[in-house]
Chains A and B, each alone.
Chain A
Amino acid sequence: MALPAYAGTLETIWYYLFRFICALIFFFLIAPIVVIIPLSFNAVPFFTFTEKMLTLDPEGYSLRWYKDFFSNLNWQGAVKNSFIIAFFSTIIATFLGTLAALGLSRSEMPAKTWVMGILISPMIVPLIISAAGMFFFYTSIGLASTHVGVILAHAALSTPFVVITVTATLVGFDQSLIRASATLGANPTTTFFKVIVPLILPGVISGALFAFVTSFDEVVIVKFIGSYQQRTIPWAMFSGLRESISPTILAVATLLVLLSIGMLTTVELLRRRNEKLRGLSPG
């Protein structure tokens, strides 16, 4: 919004001051993420800029932390575990969450608020409490320190995100399309795959991405119910930050920032496609 023509001096000053304040807040949001990128190319094991880095001396920069990351078995195991655990928990969460969202968005669903409340609770309960509960329970049934245990726990944590995103997609869903499809001779299965799925797919995919990130980023539960064999990237970062601070963590962090940029782009593109499909925004 441009400055209105009738604005006085004070208002003009405020107009620019306000923008300046907002710029500072945006800087606060983004600077910490940007700053780790150059720091990860540090040639010396410090978490800060060296003089050589500031004078842009090539000797101040190196790829040694990236080399360390790609050659270190500790980190490579963590990467492998992270992807395995996130992949399987996302599949479980997306499947169960989408089904439940389809049920929840039907007007015939009884006790909707209560059921929704319980299904969303993994998102609200403080992680340490979930972790403690799961730790005792999974230990008693022999699932602690197994990949299966961590996958199930992460799936439980991620389902609320799938339920919420898919339910949101279904809010604008025209139920008469299902009847239309039925009158045209499609059986329920055909209707599901040819009519419902294409329409809710953007919601399902962004729900799945949320689920993936939830698992990929989760550390408290892994720390409690997993062991070294189940170490994930956040687990390794957490223990790294507590014990020996090495800039390898910053190299990992930089790679993770790139990953989240990719995810963010995908979700944004999906959101726009979804809005376009439902005619909420032009073009």
Chain B
Amino acid sequence: MSDAPLVTVDGTPLKVSLGRAKRKAKIRALLLVAPLFLFILLTFFIPIMSMLLRSVDNENVAYTLPNTADLLAEWDVDSGDLPDEAVFAALAADFKAATVSKEDDINATKVGTRFNYEKSGFRSMFRKTNKIFEKGGVEPPYKEAFIKINKRWGDADYWRVMQREMRGKTDSYYLAAVDSGYTDDGERAMNKPGKRIYLKLYGRTLGISLLITCICLLLAYPVAYLLSILKSRTSNLLMILVLLPFWTSLLVRTSAWIALLQKEGVINSVLVSIGVIDDANRLLMIHNATGTIIAMVHVLLPFMILPLYSVMKTIPPSYMRAARSLGATPFTAFTKVYMPNTVPGIGAGAILVFILAIGYYITPALVGGQSGTLISNEIARHLETSLNWGLAAALGALLLVAVFALYLVYDKIVGIDNMKLG
């Protein structure tokens, strides 16, 4: 036997040859995954990341008012004086440039709206000033001219906000998303108790989601148990009752609940006709938190039943019989032997339902009314109605962090690879 390394037929050492084959196999696997990976990256991942960047983005301000931004950076905000004439002159030049600019991103009124998120009064101040400049502008001395247009130009508090928000990045959207902001002295602080809306909304979203998860668990547990102990012919039949809602369009189920729950709806009519309630006191079960909870429990229940069922299916019935034969009461046998075995299923189902619930939009939007809307609905409102996209992005980023944390927990418990459907 020689010490020479093993070689393949063509003379290359076996180790090299094997390594090459392995690398080839690796590349082949990567090539199969690559198209989808790139596709998701382009159509999904990058769009979301770039949207999240909006939550700190403030470039547009300095882009519209470049000269002012340069000069104002040097102004000492704590001096108590207004910025000097040069700053006002730069501002006049910027306004002038903005009125003639053809670029969409250069728009003084938009900047005013942006500042208005920080301190009210900016919007009208910028709109009015812009109008004057569209008509021709002002003559020096600029400081007096500006203050004549709107006296807020003479208020150092407004200039403080402008100086702060001239920077390219801002934290004010995130502050607003947690009900905070800058005081007139430039300190970060919580809003007054009456003006704290988002924390309350996050709290409500978490609370409603938790409640939905608990109700789903309570309803799913007996059903999954029954399905797991029945003969497979019967349980397959009953499984249809679980899978049919799962496959039915979300909009169908939501409209069904509207038909059932509304004031003139099926449930109220039945209750009135059998005399449980009288016609004047019909139950308000929709356009409030109750409606959201009922409809969402119905929508999400299959997501709890299916993982529970697949875990319960694997628990041998002999466990319970063994416990009983050793003298346990049915209750003890259930709580000490059966239940601990179902914990993985409970974990998987609960986290899945919770993740889906905190990001829910459609059902709360249709049946939630005022008290039953969740954080997603507020994000949609800022995207569609108030057009405060930075705040929408900040609220969305916080939601995403929560979902991502839960996703990691889910991965720990179930493993992403073990996720099953249907």
Which residues from chain A sit less than 8 Å from chain B, CB to CB?
A: 1, 11, 14, 18-19, 21-22, 25-26, 28-30, 32-33, 35-36, 39, 46-49, 92, 96-97, 99-100, 102-104, 106, 108-110, 112-113, 115-122, 124-130, 132-138, 152-153, 155-157, 159, 161, 163-165, 167-168, 206, 210, 213, 216-217, 219-220, 224, 233-234, 237-238, 241-242, 245, 249-250, 253, 256-257, 260-261, 263-264, 267-268, 271
Are B366 and A242 interface neighbours, CB within 8 A? yes
Among A29, A46, A108, A135, point to the contact of B22 (Cβ < 8 A): A108
- Supposing A22-B223, A48-B269, A164-B419 touch, asked if A29 and B301 sit within 8 A by C-beta, the answer is yes
Q: Quick check: B317 and A99 within 8 Å, CB to CB?
A: no
Specify which of B229, B361, B383 is in contact with A1 (CB 8 Å cutoff).
B229
Q: Are A118 and B40 in contact (CB under 8 A)?
A: yes
Contact of A213 among B48, B223, B247, B396 (CB under 8 A): B247
**Given the contacts A46-B264, A121-B44, A250-B259, A261 and B244 also touching, CB distance less than 8 Å:** yes
Q: How close is B285's CB to chain A, nearest CB, in angstroms?
A: 13
Shortest Cβ gap from B368 to chain A (Å): 12
| A217→B379 contact, CB < 8 A | no
A28-B298, A165-B421 known; A96+B36 contact, CB < 8 A: yes
Does the CB pair B359–A100 fall under 8 Å? no
Q: Are A47 and B362 in contact (CB under 8 A)?
A: no
Given contacts A28-B219, A121-B40, A257-B248, 9 further A-B contacts (CB under 8 A): A35-B256, A48-B259, A113-B411, A119-B40, A126-B376, A126-B403, A128-B361, A128-B376, A253-B255
Separation of A124 and B30 alpha carbons in the complex (Å): 24
29 contacting pairs across A/B (C-beta < 8 A): A1-B230, A11-B330, A14-B330, A18-B226, A22-B226, A33-B253, A35-B260, A47-B259, A47-B262, A100-B32, A106-B29, A108-B26, A118-B45, A122-B40, A125-B359, A126-B359, A128-B379, A129-B379, A130-B48, A133-B49, A134-B44, A137-B46, A138-B47, A156-B44, A164-B420, A168-B420, A217-B250, A253-B256, A256-B249
Q: Is the CB of A25 within 8 A of B249?
A: no
B14 interfacial by beta-carbon distance below 8 Å: no
**Which residues of the partner chain B approach A47 to less than 8 Å between Cβ atoms?**
258-259, 262, 264-266
Q: Which of A21, A30, A129 has the most CB of B within 10 A?
A: A129
User: Which among A49, A122, A125 has the highest number of chain B CB atoms within 10 Å?
Assistant: A125
Quote the shortest CB–CB distance from A82 to chain B (angstroms): 10
B358: Cβ under 8 A from any A Cβ: yes
* Chain A residues, Cβ within 8 Å of B380: 128
- A256–B248 Cα distance when bound, in Å, is 7
Complex Cα distance A261/B28, Å?
40
Among the 9-residue stretches B110-118, B139-147, B190-198, B234-242, the one with 4 or more Cβ atoms under 8 Å from chain A is B234-242
Whether the Cβ atoms of B252 and A126 lie closer than 8 Å is no
**Nearest chain A CB to B318's CB is how many angstroms away?**
12
Known: A21-B222, A118-B40, A234-B250. A133 touches B50 (CB 8 A): yes
Q: How big is chain B's contact interface, by range? A: 35 or more
In angstroms, Cα B29 to Cα A100, docked, is 8
CB distance from A33 to the nearest CB of B (A): 6
Shortest beta-carbon distance from B89 to chain A in Å: 35
Chain A, residue nearest B330 (CB): A11
In the complex, A49 Cα to B271 Cα: how many Å? Answer: 13
Q: Check if B51 is an interface residue, CB within 8 A of chain A.
A: yes
A129, B243: Cα distance in complex, Å? 28
Quick one: which of A32, A127, A157, A245 contacts B359, CB cutoff 8 A? A127
Given known A-B contacts A25-B219, A100-B37, A133-B47, A49 and B255 have beta carbons under 8 A apart: no
Least distance between B343 CB and chain A CB atoms (Å): 21
Q: Is B119 an interface residue (CB 8 A)?
A: no
Are A117 and B416 in contact (CB-based, < 8 A)? yes
A118:B252 contact, CB within 8 angstroms: no
Tell me whether B245 and A120 are in contact (CB under 8 A): no
Q: A96-B35, A127-B359, A130-B48 are in contact. Are A117 and B379 (CB under 8 A)?
A: no
Residues of B with C-beta under 8 A to A261: 244, 247
Q: How far is the CB of A85 from chain B (nearest CB, A)?
A: 14
User: In whole angstroms, how far apart are the Cα atoms of A122 and B42 in the complex?
Assistant: 12
Q: Which of A32, A99, A110 contacts B253 (CB 8 A)?
A: A32
Q: Given A126-B399, A129-B48, are A30 and B255 also a contact pair (CB < 8 Å)?
A: no
CA–CA, A49 to B54, complex, Å?
49
- Report Cα–Cα, A38/B271, bound state, in Å: 19
